[in-house]
Amino acid sequence: MDLTTVTGHRRATGRADLALTPGETYLAGGTWLFSEPQPGLTGLVDLGSLGWAPLEELSSGGVRIGATCTIAQLHAWPWPSAVADLVGQCADSLLMSFKVQHAATVGGNVCLALPAGAMIALLTALDAEAVIWTPDGGERREPVATLVRDPGLTSLTRGEVLRALEVAPAALAASYAFARIALTPYGRTSAMVIARRDARGATLTIAGSTPRPLVLEVASEAEVGAAIDTIHEWYADPHGAPDWRAAMTRRLAVETVCRVLS
């Protein structure tokens, strides 16, 4: 879509270029930004020219994902097999063409903060930490699980930039089970559940059916129902009614916990 109100485009080459003027916003892949009207938007600050590495290994054994890493680059990284399967399932659940997968960014999906954001669910399940550049030249860190606050809302304030997402070694060594449901075969996610098993036990990541990602700890399949009962807010939109989403989430949670603990 043509953004007819945009009159300026700046390519950022360093942190000094990231200061926003009135009417400006950041541009990464642009696959959502150019998909619908953006009233009041007059300028774009392009993050793609900063040259951030898509992915890199950390000295700790973890992985650092640059915010401008594309879905295709994330998918192509040599993850451990269990994580590779999960990354592939989450990428496929976005139901995008191969052309969009080569443009859409991981950071953009997180910053959109949509309940159906599959990268949000993936990174929450991986216990990823967001690295955020602050306007004063500093940096802060926050778990992805709390960075996303509500539909379309994150903890990011104006001028803050999501720089990277870091996955610790423990998450790379864990086992995962994934399940998703939508109203139609190629519809937007109505409920997504990722179960993770590591040395601490089983952890459930709930997404799609709730306004924000939720993390629940369970020790066995028998505890799943009680854990789901602690959720008191279910998302409602044309892709699913709250009561149906709650029922489907419960079913998917039992299924994934059973698989990951078997």
Tell me what the mean pLDDT of segment 142-169 comes to: 97
Spell out the domains of the chain, with CATH numbers in brackets: 8-50 (no CATH), 55-170 (3.30.465.10), 175-261 (3.30.390.50)
The predicted pLDDT at position 95 comes to 85
Buried b (16+ CB within 10 A) or exposed e, 62-82: bbbbbbbbbbbbbeebebeeb
The single-letter DSSP state of residue 30 is -
- The count of residues in the chain is 262
Strand (E) or helix (H) holding 218: strand 214-218
Tell me what the mean pLDDT of segment 93-120 comes to: 92
pLDDT digits (tens, 9 = 90+) for 156-214: 999 999 999 999 999 999 999 999 999 998 899 999 999 999 877 899 999 999 999 99
Under the banding of pLDDT at 50, 70 and 90, the label for residue 97 is confident
Backbone phi, then psi, for 132, in 5-degree steps?
-120, 125
The predicted pLDDT at position 153 comes to 97
- Which has more confidence, 17 or 4? 17
Cβ neighbours for 182, distance < 8 A, ≥ 6 positions apart? 188, 189, 190, 239
pLDDT digits (tens, 9 = 90+) for 29-53: 998 898 889 999 999 999 999 999 9
Tell me what the mean pLDDT of segment 67-74 comes to: 97
The predicted pLDDT at position 128 comes to 98
Tell me what the mean pLDDT of segment 216-235 comes to: 94
Tell me what the mean pLDDT of segment 60-67 comes to: 97
Q: Please give the full DSSP string across 63-122, using - where no structure is assigned.
A: EEEETT-BHHHHHHS---HHHHHHHHHHHHHT---HHHHTT-BHHHHHHHT-TT-HHHHH
DSSP, collapsed to helix, strand or coil, labels residue 166 as strand
pTM of the entire predicted model: 0.95
In the chain, % of residues over pLDDT 70: 100
